[in-house]
Amino acid sequence: MPNTDPSGAPFPVQLSEEQWRERLSDSEYHVLRRAGTEPPFSGEYTDDKTEGVYSCRACGAELFRSDDKFDSHCGWPSFFTPLAGDSVVEIEDRSLGMTRTEVRCATCGSHLGHVFAGEGYDTPTDLRYCINSVSLKRE
Instruction: Identify whether 46 is part of a domain.
Output: yes
Task: Write down the pTM of the prediction.
Answer: 0.92
What CATH number has the domain bearing residue 33?
Answer: 2.170.150.20
- Catalogue the active-site residues: 130
Number of domains in the chain: 1
Residues 15 and 18: their CA atoms lie apart, in Å, by: 8
Number of H helices, E strands in the chain: 2, 9
Per-residue pLDDT of the chain (139 residues; tens, 9 = 90+): 667 777 777 889 999 999 999 999 999 999 999 999 999 999 999 999 999 999 999 999 999 999 999 999 999 999 999 987 789 999 888 886 778 899 999 999 999 999 999 999 999 999 999 999 999 999 8
Instruction: Identify whether 1 is part of a domain.
Output: no
Instruction: Identify whether 12 is part of a domain.
Output: no
DSSP 27: H
For residue 111, give its domain range: 17-138
Instruction: Identify whether 9 is part of a domain.
Output: no
